């Protein structure tokens, strides 16, 4: 593709694209979130929205993406794409992008997306914003976002020129202490990886799924392109907790240390009466009390459940980064100056081993009274 020039930005009229990650033929939930968000951006740009799906024998799962807003899906099917490899996926994605020239390319910031995104951006000679949590095209909408989500002075926000049409990609950095909005003004596509669990999924529309166009682009891939060999793919033996999808998360922290088993059992009981799952701070994962899939926070999962309960968690910034957007935060901590209380809607200062059993009974009673 010798005539490809990422700086010829006016040539990138191929619409908004979303890399739709699947594993073992199953769509990753973040693909639906990104298609939903991509729909919003495509509408703001007045462009079409396409999914990009790679794998082997995966055409059957493509049309579902239409139900969340995709106008079409580019399906690249090949036996060598059955498992994710950096080499195979990067080659095919970059070849197809060079041919169809999308203006925007979104990728889920999963362990795979964060391997693939930078490799593709480097090959395509364009910028990549990492692990975004908010995206805008229209400046008035971006200003509304800043008014609610930043401490910038109103005059500063008002002074932003309204004609900017770059994708504005907002992300946390420095462990969540700072937010930065990144643009990529000189090259296309504007690329972003997007944090799973953050963007809201649209309601599924069967008629739109039926109408979704399937496109099969030309590409070439041979054994010679593959420099890494996947020997096996192992799924974690235990069923992993679905923190991201949960309505209620009850998390425990180092505060359970005097009786780890008892503390986890109390959290499980509370989660059960509230209809939720158990999570934990990194301290509980590093101590080996809970497995890594339970971790909430900057280096764990971002959750925004209806109710988040923090039992014996101090509220370090890296923990807050993963849960502060929860609708209702309840914290139990024996130290009344614990930072978690700064963001808790309801705080109880006390010993979690005494408070939690009473809370379980009180909630059972309140539910029975309904």
Partner 1 sequence: MKIIVCVKQVPDTSGKVAVNPDGTLNRASMAAITNPDDLNAVEAALTLKEQTGAEVVIVSMGPPPAESMLREVMARGADRAVLVSAREFGGSDTYATSQILAAAINKIGVEDEDIVLCGRQAIDGDTAQVGPQIAEKLHLPQVSYAAEITKEGDTITVKRMLEDGYMTIKVKTPCLITCIKELNAPRYMSVGGIYECYSKPYEIFDYNTLKDDSLIDPTTIGLKGSPTNIFKSFTPPQKGVGMMLEGADKATCDKLAGILAAKHLI
Ligand X SMILES: Cc1cc2nc3c(=O)[nH]c(=O)nc-3n(C[C@H](O)[C@H](O)[C@H](O)COP(=O)(O)OP(=O)(O)OC[C@H]3O[C@@H](n4cnc5c(N)ncnc54)[C@H](O)[C@@H]3O)c2cc1C
Binding-site residues for FAD: 254, 281-282, 295-299, 312-319, 333
Contact partners, residue 124, CB within 8 Å, separation at least 6 = 6, 94, 97, 98, 189, 191
Tell me the per-residue interface mask from 85 to 114 with partner 1, x by CB under 8 A, - otherwise. -xx--x-------------------xxx-x
Which parts of 195-214 interact with partner 1 (CB under 8 A)?
none
* Identity of the residue, 66 or 347, whose beta carbon is nearer to ligand X in the bound complex: 347
295 binds, among partner 1, ligand X, none (CB under 5 to 8 A by kind): ligand X
The 3-state secondary structure of 123-173, one letter per residue: HHCCCEEEEECEEECCHHHHHHHHHHHCCCCHHHHHCCCCCCCCCEEEEEE
CA distances from 318 to 30, 69, 181, 273, 325 (A): 22, 33, 20, 28, 13
Tell me the per-residue interface mask from 243 to 282 with partner 1, x by CB under 8 A, - otherwise. -------------------------------x--------
367 binds, among ligand X, partner 1, none (CB under 5 to 8 A by kind): partner 1
Q: Are 54 and 62 in contact (CB under 8 A)?
A: no
Which parts of 153-192 interact with partner 1 (CB under 8 A)?
160, 164, 166, 168, 171-187
Does 144 help bind partner 1 (rule: CB under 8 A)?
Answer: no
* Identity of the residue, 172 or 280, whose beta carbon is nearer to partner 1 in the bound complex: 172
- Structure letter (DSSP) for residue 71: S
* Identity of the residue, 205 or 336, whose beta carbon is nearer to partner 1 in the bound complex: 336
C-alpha closest to that of 134 among 48, 33, 29:
33
* Identity of the residue, 182 or 248, whose beta carbon is nearer to ligand X in the bound complex: 182
* Identity of the residue, 56 or 306, whose beta carbon is nearer to partner 1 in the bound complex: 306
How far, in Å, CA of 279 to CA of 266, rounded?
A: 12
What does the block give as tokens for 146?
């800043």
Does 369 help bind partner 1 (rule: CB under 8 A)?
Answer: yes
- Rounded to the nearest 10°, the torsion over CA 174, 175, 181, 187 is 70
User: Which range binds partner 1 by CB under 8 A, 72-80, 98-106, 146-154, 205-213?
Assistant: 146-154
Does 150 help bind partner 1 (rule: CB under 8 A)?
Answer: yes
Q: Give me the DSSP letters along 272-336.
A: HHHT-EEEE-HHHHHTTSS-GGGBBSTTSB----SEEEEES----HHHHTTTTT-SEEEEEES-T
User: Which range binds partner 1 by CB under 8 A, 36-44, 64-72, 128-136, 260-268?
Assistant: 128-136
Q: How far is the CB of 109 from partner 1 (least distance, A)?
A: 9
Binding site for ligand X (CB under 6 A): 127-130, 171, 173, 175, 178, 180, 182, 253-255, 281-283, 295-300, 312-314, 316, 318-319, 322, 332-335, 338, 351-353
C-beta nearest to ligand X: residue: 297
282 binds, among ligand X, partner 1, none (CB under 5 to 8 A by kind): ligand X
Q: What H or E segment, with its residue span, contains residue 365?
A: helix 352-369
């Amino acid at each position: 593709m010798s005539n490809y020039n990422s700086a010829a930005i006016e040539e990138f009229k191929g619409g908004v694209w979303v890399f739709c990650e699947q594993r073992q033929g199953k769509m990753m939930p973040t693909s639906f979130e990104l298609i939903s968000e991509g729909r919003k951006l495509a509408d703001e740009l007045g462009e079409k929205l396409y999914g990009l799906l790679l794998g082997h024998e995966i055409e059957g799962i493509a049309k579902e993406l239409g139900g969340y807003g995709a106008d079409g899906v580019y399906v690249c099917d090949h036996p060598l794409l059955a498992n994710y490899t950096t080499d195979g996926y990067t080659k095919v994605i970059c070849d197809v992008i060079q041919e169809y020239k999308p203006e925007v390319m979104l990728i889920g910031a999963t362990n795979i997306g964060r391997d693939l995104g930078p490799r593709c951006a480097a090959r395509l000679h364009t910028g990549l914003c990492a692990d975004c949590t908010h995206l805008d095209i229209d400046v008035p909408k971006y200003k509304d976002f800043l008014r609610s989500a930043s401490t910038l002075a109103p005059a500063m926000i008002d002074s932003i020129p309204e004609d900017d049409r770059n994708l504005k990609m907002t992300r946390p950095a420095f462990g969540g202490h700072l937010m930065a909005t990144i643009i990529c003004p000189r090259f296309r596509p504007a690329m972003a990886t997007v944090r799973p669990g953050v963007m809201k999924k649209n309601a599924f529309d069967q008629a739109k799924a039926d109408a979704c166009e399937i496109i099969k682009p030309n590409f070439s891939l041979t054994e010679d392109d593959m420099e890494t060999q996947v020997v096996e793919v192992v799924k974690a033996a235990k069923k992993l907790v679905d923190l991201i999808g949960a309505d209620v998360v009850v998390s425990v922290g180092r505060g359970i240390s005097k009786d780890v088993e008892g503390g986890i059992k109390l959290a499980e009981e509370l989660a059960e009466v509230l209809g939720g799952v158990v999570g934990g701070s990194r301290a509980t994962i590093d101590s080996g009390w809970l497995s890594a899939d339970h971790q909430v926070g900057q280096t764990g999962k971002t959750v925004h459940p209806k109710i988040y309960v923090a039992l014996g968690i101090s509220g370090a910034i890296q923990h807050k980064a993963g849960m502060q957007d929860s609708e209702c935060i309840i914290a139990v901590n024996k130290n009344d100056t614990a930072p978690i209380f700064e963001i808790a809607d309801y705080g109880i200062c006390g010993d979690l081993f005494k408070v939690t059993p009473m809370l379980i009974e009180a909630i059972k009673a309140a539910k029975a009274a309904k």
